[in-house]
Every structure is written in C-alpha cells, then in structure tokens.
Structure 1
Amino acid sequence: MAVDIKNLNHNQLTDLIAKAQARQGELSKERTTKVREQIQAILKKEGVTLDDVFPSRGAAKSKRAGTTVAAKFRDPANPDNTWSGRGKRPRWFNDALKAGKKEKDLLIA
C-alpha cells in the first residue's frame, strides 16, 4: 500500500501522520506483550521467578542517596536561608563574605 504523500493537503497529511503514530503505538504494545508472555513462559518452565534471575531489580538506593545533612551556616539577613557547607556556596553566603562577614560569623550556634 503506497501512499503518494505529494498529492495530500495539509489536513490529510496531518491525519495520516496521526494514524501512523497510533498504529506504531499499537504495534509496540503488541510486541511488548508478546515478549512479556514469552519471558513468563520461560520462567514458568524453568521454575524460577524474575527476582531469582535479576536479584538487583528494584534494589534499594545507596545508603547516602537522599540523605540530608544538617545546616551549618545561616544567612543573617534571612534566617530561612541555610547551607550545610557542602557543594557550591550559595549566593547569600558569598555576598556576606564580600560584605566583611567571616565564615565563623555565619555558623549556626
């Protein structure tokens, strides 16, 4: 089925593209379902589970991931601004140093 796209107007071409993308999505879902069924059949035949085959699947993140560090410095102009002392210095911290403050002046007591 060859479609001569040179003879299509803008609306017809847009409609054809939408239909083609929809069909592409359907084919992708069908292929994924077929592969999933094949994998499940193999796992059942061998008597194992997916977790047996891939034990690290869904494993917990490293211990450090997502941990928060207590604030070490506080902005005297706006107490809501704090910094743990890790990573890039915040703008308020650099501005305070330029204004003559010392790091020890910004420490949280």
Structure 2
Amino acid sequence: MELNLDNLPLKELRDLRNKVEKAIATFEERRKREALVAAENVAREFGFSLADLAEAKTSRGKVAPKYVNPEDPEMTWTGRGRKPRWVVDALDAGTALEELEI
C-alpha cells in the first residue's frame, strides 16, 4: 500500500499521523497478545494450559538440609543461597564447612 502524501489535505495528514503514533504505541502490546494466544494454542496441543506450565516452572521440590548448627540442631542450611549467620560465625571461628555437614 503506497500513499501519495503530497496530495493529502493537512487534516488527513494529521489524522494519519495520529493513527500511526497509536499503532506504534500499541505495537508491543499487540505482539504480546499474539504470542500469548500462540503459546496457549501450543500448550493446548500438549494437553496443558499455560497456568499448568507456569506452575510447573515455578514449583521446585524442597532440598534436604546439608549442614546443621552443632549448637542448635533445629538450625539447618541446604547449602544454597546466602549463608546463615550461624554458618558465617562458625567459619569465622575457624570451623571447616565440612564439620557442619549432616
């Protein structure tokens, strides 16, 4: 589609500009909706909903603790994430991490 902009009156040029600006502003949102519909269709082909797949992605099993505080056996750590204060204190006191293993 090719428009001859030189022959359009000013009002039509302004209307066209407004429509183009709106189309540009909503482009990404329209593409997201299209992608969502496509993803829903693919999930449905496999017998799932997008909610099922999102739940499967975010749900993680519990990890068994790997380390225990010798002074308080209720305090454990899996070895993942930030070290608890009791682990840091034990390491600072010269205790080897292996000594805290369960």
TM-score bracket for this pair, using the shorter chain length: 0.3 to 0.5
Question: Per residue, is there more helix in 1 or in 2?
Answer: 2
Q: TM-score, normalized by length of structure 1? A: 0.45
Question: Per residue, is there more strand in 1 or in 2?
Answer: 2
Q: TM-score, normalized by length of structure 2? A: 0.47
